[in-house]
Every structure is written in structure tokens, then in C-alpha cells.
Chains A and B, each alone.
Chain A
């Protein structure tokens, strides 16, 4: 055992003296994780606000109520109003992707509403976005409905104000008091629902308690972990060829205790390297996703063991190849489909059923599923135990196969 630990220590020293490689292995998954985090959002559950370019061509008392209504209460979290001067500017902002939609309030909008005439609001949706423009559209539909009821309830007092305004006459104190009492009564009875239109966002609560796994990025995170593991495993596995090229492999084989120590030491060292990389990756995951600390430790250990299985497998594959270049190509041919299909770019649960069925049968996809359950604090003991045993078995068998194959491959004269 001492000789294996000695060999592992040597490999760890080599890694420590070559910090660029370690930084590279750390930075790639971290960069990808951060990229996906910013692309898909995190654990705070906030829906990003939709920007709405609003061109108020009417500029009336009624039209000015619209941005006010959109800036109230829960709607303010959903929609951010960007006032613009005219419809052209509004369309351009939407076309350039600066806003989710453009709303044009036409001239005569206020009068038409008060006169109970049909009027048309123009809404132009940003074609590059799928979700946010729909939110804007739905909110505006609700707003239009609210405006209809407001017209019905407040029609009379508003008409009085409008007439006074157009005829440039002043309301006497009795008229003003009467209007104030009317408004007060209406607001007391129905106002909270209609001015501004009060929308309540109803969220269906699932029967099971909400877990972190309902978050998109959370669903993607295990796939990202396995992408990092696959690429790091590939890089670690090619070290066998480096040892062969520089003659150190043969020196192990002719030393008294080096034969057994060489590959087992390398496997243990790979485990330590993976543990460091995974700890950093999960640390970032905790910051971004708020993963529970209690779930992190088993998750890091599980992913490290999975990584060791991948390293052992790729070590074997790398010496099955006749040359180092062939080994790199062979491993890349295996890794790319695994990454693409195994949920590293798209959560398996969000895949179409036929693709999800394939993804769940890839080794990384299957293990990522177990990891997701661990992170959610809902491990399936049977499946988890099976995964742990399978990884340990693969690590042992592939290390032995790689050892035998490396002797055949590297010691031929």
C-alpha cells in the first residue's frame, strides 16, 4: 500500500507543480456553470421583468393612467415600462431585442374609451423571445378588461370632468364635492380591483412540497458536473501516454515495487484531483443555487467516485489505442455524444420523451439523475447504492485492464 500512496503522492506533486492544468480543469466547469447560471437564472425564483416600450401618442388623462397601472404592485415586478417618443422607436427597440414588446397607444385612445367606441392598441412582440412577450400580452389583456369595467363604473364622473375641461368651465364647489363623494364611494366599493386594475398572480402549488429541483438551473447542474468530470477524466487519462513518452512508465516496470504502484497510484491521485475540482464546483453551486450543505458532502463524494470510474475507464481506452493521438480521438468520440445526450446542455427532464429515454441510459445521464436526487435531499437508497457499487467496480476492473494493456502496449520493443 505504501508504494501506491508513494506513487499517488508523486502524481499529486506533479499536479501541484503544474497549477495551470489544475486552474484549467477548475475554470472550464466553473465558467460553464456561471454561463448557464446567468443564461437560465438561479434559485431565487424571480421571473425576469419584461421590458415594454410604450409610445403614448394620445397623451391624454386616460392614456397616462396606463403606465401608472403597469407600475403598480405585482405588475411592477413583471413589467418594466420604457417610455418612448413614437411608434417607430418602440418597434425598433423590440426588433433590436432591447425590449420584450412595444405598445402603441393611438391618438384618440382616451376619448374612444370614454365614448365607449372600439379602439385598437397595437402590441408588437419581440420575435426573439418566447416567454416574456406572452407575459406582457396577458397583462395587457387583463388591463383592457379592467379599463372596460372602470369605464362602466366611473363613466359619469369622468364625463363631467371631461366636459368641464373641454368647455374651459370651472366646477363649482357643490359639483366638486359631489364628484369627490362619488369617487370615494366607488373606490371604497370596487376601486382596489379596477383602478389600477389589480391582478393577482395565482401560482398553482404542487401537492408535494417545492424542492430546489424545480429550478431549471438546478436541473441542469448535475449534467454540468458530469461534463466537468468527463473532460477532467480525459485529461487525467492521457497522462499514461506522457509517462510512456518520457520513459517513466518503463522505469516503474523495472523497479522493485513500481509495477503495481504505478496505475493504482495514478487512480488515487486522480481521485484527489477530482475531489478538489468537484469541491470547488459544488462550492460555486452552493453560492448560485443555495444547495444545502448537508447534501453537498455526499454529492461531492458521489461525483468524485463517478469521476474515478471515468478516469479508470478512459485510462483503459487510452492504452487500447495504438498512439496517443488515436487515444485522444477515441476518447473525444466517446465523450462528445455523452455530453450532448447526457443532460449537460439541457436537463433530461426537459427533453422530449424519446431523447430523455436515451439520456437516462447514458452512464453520465444515469449518474446525474442520482446526483440530482442527492442534491435535492431525496436520495433513492437502492439506486444510489447500485451507482456507488457500479462505479467502484468499474474503477477496479478498468484499472486492472488498463494495467495489463499498458504493459502490452508500452513494453513491446
Chain B
């Protein structure tokens, strides 16, 4: 569903993404982890066609994102880190708008918008201007806007930043549900416990390169031994992450 091969993105002298390759299968949640400036956002921007790669290929649902942009975007749902919704209008109007831009018909919108509002727990406040929503509600609406057209591929860029535990659990449940329905999910986060809980496979990105990738068990088995030997009693994804990417502060 998502097939990235030898992706490179260079800005002048700086290489933001350096020859990375990974695949995300239908129904799989793939975690892309990395400190700030590691290249996650550049990778996602290339995946959704915002940036053209310097080299390499990206296929979304079997369609090359460079040559078949519109077709690829039809199957793509993006939930950006920013709350990319219009605060002046209601949740219903937001969903109708973003759904409309994905090509949903009036009839489809009429059916899907209430379903989606109900699924993200906003049905009872659907007519209110979104600016009255709490942070958690806005995050749920942000997610709903990415899901309204029922995409086969979902790119989630830190979708749970700054929300309450209830909303977070709710968001994670919806993502799992989507994956169970066959959607390929690429998930980035700084919360390691979230990635541990959610992702079937993971890649850790640093300085534009993938330093490791595999299932959680594979990663912990391969690199966890080394951590244990360094007197850490129980390996965890967070310790593995810090071990691989270092402890120095990033931008």
C-alpha cells in the first residue's frame, strides 16, 4: 500500500532524507519515529506529494505519487500535526468541505458526515463553530477530516499532541479500527509508549537515515541485548530509541 524505495530529499547542501526504503502493508500500522529534524516531516511531505523527492520512488496504493498525483491523493488520508480545520465554521461544515474536495458526492457526504461525527464523539456539538472546541475535540475533528473519504492509506503526523488521555485513547482506537478494516497507516509520534502500543512495525529515523526497522520484538531483541548489557535492566522502546539516536537535545 505504501512503498517507498531509496527516497532522497536534498536541500542545497543539506540532505534531509537519505536513501530510505520501507513498505507499509494494508491493515498495518507502521511507526516512523525520530527526534526533531530527523526527516520525518520531509518524508511525509514527499509521501503526500507536497515535496518532490530528489530521487527514489513512492507508490501509494500502487500509484506513483509523482506521475499519478490526483489518483494517489484520492486514496490518501492525511492528518497533519497542525489542527488543519477552519475554526469559524462548524464540524459538519468542515467535514462536508474536506469530503467535497476529496470528490465525495452530496449523497455520500450526507451519509458519511454524521457517521464520522458520531465515531469521533462530536455528534452532539456538530453545529457549533469549531473555535469553541477543546484541544481534544479539535484533534478528533482533525482526524475525522483525514478519514472522511475512507482512504486506503493514512498518514498520521503526531495526531495526539497535547490532548487529554480520554481523547488520546479514542483517537488510538479509531486508528486501530481503520487498520483492522485494511487501511495502511503510517504513524509518527514522539510518544514511545503510543508507538509500542499501536505499531506492528517501526522504523527509527535519524539524520535522514533509517537506523533500524522491524517489529517491536525484532528491534528489542536485536538492539535490546546491547542496552541490557549496559546495565539497563529491562529494555523498552524509549530506551532503544535513545540508545540509537543519542541523548543530545535536538532543534
The interface-forming segment of B42-50, B159-167, B178-186, B194-202 is B42-50
Q: Does B212 contact A (CB under 8 A)?
A: no
Contacts of A3 in B (CB 8 A): 100-101
A246-B83 contact given A256-B103, A257-B103, A413-B16, CB 8 Å threshold? yes
Q: Does B121 contact A (CB under 8 A)?
A: no
Contacts of A261 in B (CB 8 A): 101
Q: Does A258 contact B (CB under 8 A)?
A: yes
User: How distant is the Cα of A258 from the Cα of B97 in the complex, in angstroms?
Assistant: 10
Contact of A18 among B49, B88, B97, B98 (CB under 8 A): B88
The closest CB in chain B to the CB of A3 belongs to: B101
CB distance from B137 to the nearest CB of A (A): 16
Q: Does A10 contact B (CB under 8 A)?
A: yes
User: How distant is the Cα of A257 from the Cα of B101 in the complex, in angstroms?
Assistant: 5
Q: Interface 1/0s, chain A 1-38, versus B by CB < 8 A?
A: 00100110010011001100000000000000000000
CB distance from B127 to the nearest CB of A (A): 12
Contact B42 A413 (CB under 8 A): yes
Which residues of A (65-99) have their CB < 8 Å from a CB of B?
none
Which residues of B (96-120) have their CB < 8 Å from a CB of A?
97-98, 100-103
Contact B16 A248 (CB under 8 A): no
Q: Does B87 contact A (CB under 8 A)?
A: yes
Which residues of A (251-293) have their CB < 8 Å from a CB of B?
251-258, 261
The closest CB in chain B to the CB of A244 belongs to: B82
Contact A254 B49 (CB under 8 A): yes
Contact B97 A250 (CB under 8 A): no
Contact B84 A250 (CB under 8 A): yes
Contacts of A412 in B (CB 8 A): 11, 51
Contact B51 A255 (CB under 8 A): no
Q: Does A214 contact B (CB under 8 A)?
A: no
Which residues of B (57-92) have their CB < 8 Å from a CB of A?
70, 73-74, 76, 78, 80-89
CB distance from B109 to the nearest CB of A (A): 11
Q: Does B135 contact A (CB under 8 A)?
A: no
A-B contact count (CB 8 A): 81
A14-B80 contact given A255-B102, A256-B102, CB 8 Å threshold? no
Contacts of A17 in B (CB 8 A): 88-89, 129
Contact of A251 among B45, B51, B93, B145 (CB under 8 A): B145
The closest CB in chain B to the CB of A258 belongs to: B101
Contacts of B89 in A (CB 8 A): 10, 13-14, 17
Contact A248 B101 (CB under 8 A): no
Contacts of A253 in B (CB 8 A): 49-50
The closest CB in chain B to the CB of A11 belongs to: B86
Contact B85 A411 (CB under 8 A): no
Contact B98 A255 (CB under 8 A): yes
User: How distant is the Cα of A250 from the Cα of B50 in the complex, in angstroms?
Assistant: 8
The closest CB in chain B to the CB of A248 belongs to: B84
Contact A256 B74 (CB under 8 A): yes
Q: Does A247 contact B (CB under 8 A)?
A: yes
Q: Does B41 contact A (CB under 8 A)?
A: yes
Contact A247 B80 (CB under 8 A): yes
The closest CB in chain A to the CB of B41 belongs to: A413
Which residues of B (5-31) have their CB < 8 Å from a CB of A?
9, 11, 16
The closest CB in chain B to the CB of A261 belongs to: B101
Contacts of A18 in B (CB 8 A): 88
User: How distant is the Cα of A246 from the Cα of B83 in the complex, in angstroms?
Assistant: 6
Contact A247 B100 (CB under 8 A): no
A14-B86 contact given A254-B78, A413-B41, A413-B42, CB 8 Å threshold? yes
CB distance from A3 to the nearest CB of B (A): 6
The closest CB in chain A to the CB of B129 belongs to: A17
Q: Interface 1/0s, chain B 146-182, versus A by CB < 8 A?
A: 0001000000000000000000000000000000000
Contact B50 A248 (CB under 8 A): no
CB distance from B161 to the nearest CB of A (A): 12
Q: Interface 1/0s, chain A 387-413, versus B by CB < 8 A?
A: 000000000000000000000000111
The closest CB in chain B to the CB of A21 belongs to: B88
CB distance from A372 to the nearest CB of B (A): 37
Contact A411 B50 (CB under 8 A): yes
| Cross-chain pairs A/B with CB under 8 angstroms, 17 sampled | A10-B89, A10-B97, A14-B88, A17-B129, A18-B88, A248-B84, A251-B78, A251-B80, A253-B50, A254-B73, A256-B73, A256-B101, A257-B103, A258-B101, A261-B101, A411-B51, A413-B42
Question: 5 tightest CB-CB pairs across the interface, nearest first?
Answer: A247-B82, A247-B84, A17-B88, A251-B84, A413-B42
Given contacts A6-B97, A17-B129, A413-B51, 16 further A-B contacts (CB under 8 A): A3-B100, A10-B93, A10-B97, A14-B86, A246-B82, A246-B83, A246-B87, A247-B80, A248-B84, A250-B84, A251-B80, A252-B101, A256-B73, A256-B101, A413-B11, A413-B42
